[in-house]
Amino acid sequence: MQRITTLDEFIITRQKSYSSATGELTGLLRDIGLAAKIVNREVNKAGLINILGKFDQENSSGEQVAKLDIYANDRLIEFLKTSGECAGLASEELEDIIPFPARNNKYGKYVVLVDPLDGSSNIDVNVSVGTIFGIYRRLGNEDSPVDLRDFLQKGTELVAAGYVIYGTSTILVYSTGDGVNGFTLDPTIGEFCLSHRDIKIPAEGPYYSVNQGYYLKFDLEMRRYIDYCSDLNLRLRYIGTMVADIHRILFQGGIFLYPNTRKYPKGKLRLLYECNPLSYIVEQAGGQAVNTNLERILEMEPEELHQRTSVLMGSPKMIEEMKDFVLKYSPNIHSEIE
């Protein structure tokens, strides 16, 4: 029988292969893994204890949040604040950044952006939810606390990103820019174990994932492309937890679409907390991620913490085909190109 490799062992082995690595990023990833285990425990208990239900408050984007969102948010803050490597955190659940205090007169080298519990509307009905994270090297030096600029970096500057899906199994998928690996939580030993080495997204696949209920609210080119997917008899799968929809596409191939709608003219999903980290993973696995203007998500310039964007990501061949539809049917993009 092959010996298992735990997440901690894997991270440390990877670190040793970089002579310049100081171990700080390694420590940060391990802390995120630890926080994920604690969140996983509570997510699993959600049906058993009186933790379900809504807090009487709204998150910074004006949506009602479930109690577990707050729980996950608090655990991540707790673990990252004491890690020493993290200089501050920004969360989809919080209006502003949280600068962390110095340890031994030094502030951490990295900042972390998180969506603590993606897909929270699915909790009450026992459907998969997730945690998404992105890690950047801070811009200023370690003698001063972080400020907003450290968080408003383009996705191309990510040094690591990943997600955890709390599904039939709990799986953590991450990349530090040299491929993507997945780890399944073995509840009997409480460890994330390497289960999916060097994940590659299929060039095309049988799935398209979009909220078809908004069909009439999409622009013409998106409607044409969705019609084309349907004509091809592609299978429509939409969970409403981005992590879960992307997880399927990462392994089985397909395309995920959350275009702009009349209600969300710039798109609904958050650039910094959802789209950048997941685009990074998809690109590292060989896929592509763009917005409806066909700009690469990772190259979008962030202007504010809770910026939203349209997003189209998945298998490379399918994204290329989708781009052809956009170029053919979108009058705006045509005139910009001509």
Binding residues for ligand AHG, rule: CB under 6 A, are 63, 118-121, 211, 240-242, 268
Compare residues 91 and 120 and give the one whose CB is closer to ligand AHG.
Answer: 120
Compare residues 83 and 241 and give the one whose CB is closer to ligand AHG.
Answer: 241
Closest by CA position to 75, among listed 45, 44, 41, 35: 35
Q: How is residue 270 written in tokens?
A: 């958050």
- Cβ 118 to ligand AHG, closest distance in Å? 5
Give the angle 309-310-312 at the CA atoms, nearest 5°.
130
Compare residues 98 and 127 and give the one whose CB is closer to ligand AHG.
Answer: 127
Compare residues 262 and 334 and give the one whose CB is closer to ligand AHG.
Answer: 262
- Cβ 37 to ligand AHG, closest distance in Å? 21
- Cβ 252 to ligand AHG, closest distance in Å? 17
Beta strands, E only, 71-217:
86-91, 98-99, 110-118, 129-137, 158-166, 170-175, 181-186, 191-196, 207-209
Contact 133, 277 (CB under 8 A): yes
Compare residues 221 and 274 and give the one whose CB is closer to ligand AHG.
Answer: 274
HSE, side-chain direction, 13 A CA sphere, residue 149: 4
- Cβ 58 to ligand AHG, closest distance in Å? 11
- Cβ 106 to ligand AHG, closest distance in Å? 35
* Helices within 52-101 (DSSP H only): 67-81
Q: How is residue 47 written in tokens?
A: 């049906």
Compare residues 121 and 252 and give the one whose CB is closer to ligand AHG.
Answer: 121
Residue closest to ligand AHG when measured from CB atoms: 242
Contact 68, 43 (CB under 8 A): yes
Write the DSSP symbol of residue 189.
T
- Cβ 258 to ligand AHG, closest distance in Å? 6
Compare residues 28 and 290 and give the one whose CB is closer to ligand AHG.
Answer: 290
HSE, side-chain direction, 13 A CA sphere, residue 58: 4
* Helices within the chain (DSSP H only): 7-16, 24-45, 67-81, 148-151, 220-231, 242-252, 276-284, 316-329, 331-337
Contact 45, 166 (CB under 8 A): no
Q: How is residue 255 written in tokens?
A: 């395309």
Compare residues 88 and 130 and give the one whose CB is closer to ligand AHG.
Answer: 130
- Cβ 61 to ligand AHG, closest distance in Å? 8
- Looking only at the bridges linking them, the beta strands covering 170-175 and 181-186 are antiparallel
- Cβ 274 to ligand AHG, closest distance in Å? 7
Contact 299, 276 (CB under 8 A): no
